[in-house]
Amino acid sequence: MATKFGFSGLSNLTSDKSTGGESPQEIIRGRVKSVVLDNSDPTLFNRLGGWQSIGAIEYDGVSNPSSGTDQSNTIGVAYPLFPNLKFYPLVGEIVTILKLPTKNVDENPTDTRNYYLPPVNIWSSIHHNAIPSYVSPPDSQQVSYQQAEQGTPSSISDQESLISLGNTFVEKDDIRPLLPYEGDHIIEGRFGNSIRMGSTVKNASIPNKWSTEGKNGDPLLILRNGQTNYTDIPGWQHITEDVNLDKSSIYLTSTQQLPFFPSSNIRNSFKNNDVKPTDTNQYTQNQILLNSGRLTLNAASDSIVMSSPKVIHLSAEESVHLDTKSKIVLSTNKIYLGDRKATERVVLGDALLQELLLLVITLEGVAEACTTAVAGPFPVASLNTIGGNLKATCADLRKVLKKKNSPLLSKNVYTT
Q: Which of 139-153, 175-189, 384-398 has the lowest mean pLDDT?
A: 139-153
Which of the four pLDDT bands, split at 50, 70 and 90, describes residue 132? confident
Pick the closest to residue 173 from 94, 231, 87 (CA basis): 231
What is the rounded distance in angstroms from the CA atom of residue 132 to the CA atom of residue 93? 8
Report the pLDDT value the prediction gives residue 161, as an integer from 0 to 100. Answer: 55
pTM, rounded to two decimals: 0.79
State the average pLDDT over residues 189-199: 97
What is the rounded distance in angstroms from the CA atom of residue 208 to the CA atom of residue 201? 8
Query: Could you tell me if 88 and 56 are in contact, meaning their C-beta atoms sit under 8 angstroms apart?
Result: no
Which of the four pLDDT bands, split at 50, 70 and 90, describes residue 404? confident
For 74-94, b/e burial (b = at least 16 CB within 10 A) is bbbbbbbbeeeeeebbbbbbb
Which of the four pLDDT bands, split at 50, 70 and 90, describes residue 266? very high
Report the pLDDT value the prediction gives residue 58, as an integer from 0 to 100. Answer: 95
Q: Domain segments of the chain: what residues? A: 1-170, 174-323, 349-402
Report the pLDDT value the prediction gives residue 100, as an integer from 0 to 100. Answer: 93
Query: Could you tell me if 370 and 378 are in contact, meaning their C-beta atoms sit under 8 angstroms apart?
Result: no
What is the rounded distance in angstroms from the CA atom of residue 99 to the CA atom of residue 6? 6
What is the percent of the chain with per-residue pLDDT over 70, rounded to a whole number?
Answer: 84
Which of the four pLDDT bands, split at 50, 70 and 90, describes residue 2? very low
Angle at CA of residue 220, ends 219 and 226, nearest 5°? 165
State the average pLDDT over residues 224-235: 88
Which of the four pLDDT bands, split at 50, 70 and 90, describes residue 377? confident
Please give the radius of gyration of the chain, using alpha carbons only, rounded to the nearest integer: 38
- Does position 319 have pLDDT exceeding 80, yes or no? yes
pLDDT digits (tens, 9 = 90+) for 148-180: 445 444 444 444 456 789 889 999 988 999 999
Q: Which of 141-150, 177-186, 364-373 has the lowest mean pLDDT?
A: 141-150
State the average pLDDT over residues 305-323: 95
- The Cα-based distances of 221 to 94, 199, 282 in angstroms read 31, 8, 19
State the average pLDDT over residues 275-297: 95
For 135-172, b/e burial (b = at least 16 CB within 10 A) is eebeeebeebbeebeeebbbebeeeebebebbeebebb
- Does position 31 have pLDDT exceeding 70, yes or no? yes
pLDDT digits (tens, 9 = 90+) for 77-116: 999 999 999 999 999 999 999 999 999 888 998 899 999 9
3-state DSSP assignment of residue 347: coil
Which of the four pLDDT bands, split at 50, 70 and 90, describes residue 72? very low
State the average pLDDT over residues 378-401: 92
Which of the four pLDDT bands, split at 50, 70 and 90, describes residue 64? low
Report the pLDDT value the prediction gives residue 147, as an integer from 0 to 100. Answer: 53
> Cα 146 to chain center, whole Å?
37
Report the pLDDT value the prediction gives residue 359, as an integer from 0 to 100. Answer: 94
Rounded to the nearest integer, the mean pLDDT of the chain is: 86
State the average pLDDT over residues 114-127: 94
Residues 6+ apart with CB under 8 A from 90: 32, 35, 119, 128, 130, 165, 166, 169
Query: Could you tell me if 15 and 30 are in contact, meaning their C-beta atoms sit under 8 angstroms apart?
Result: no
